Structure 1
């Protein structure tokens, strides 16, 4: 089990958009983390809301500057 950084956007039936902060989901795979968030949104918001869920993994080849 690993922690995956997940971002999601919820769109209401009247077009209002809610973008979340980064949340960390513990799951066995990135797809399982996405599925967990999607099922929770469906359960809480109902069928009339739409949503987008994505994993926000930092790139390993990115170099961080010390200065």
Structure 2
């Protein structure tokens, strides 16, 4: 359960950085919907680790793409 909460936190941080939560007045509802989604999924520990890896890789790729534009 704690692992899934940490995954949801990680996912939200990256979505926030990508400006996903728009418009601002719907952000809280969107976050709650995502939290509920994560809670409903029957994720194993390996599943959670894979999702963390996916998030890290997407963030790394975005950062490197942005740095190449400079």
TM > 0.5 fold call = no
Larger Rg: 1
Structure with the larger helix share: 2
Which of structures 1 and 2 has the larger relative contact order (alpha carbons within 8 angstroms, sep 6+)?
Answer: 2
Structure with the larger strand share: 1
Normalised TM-score (structure 1): 0.30
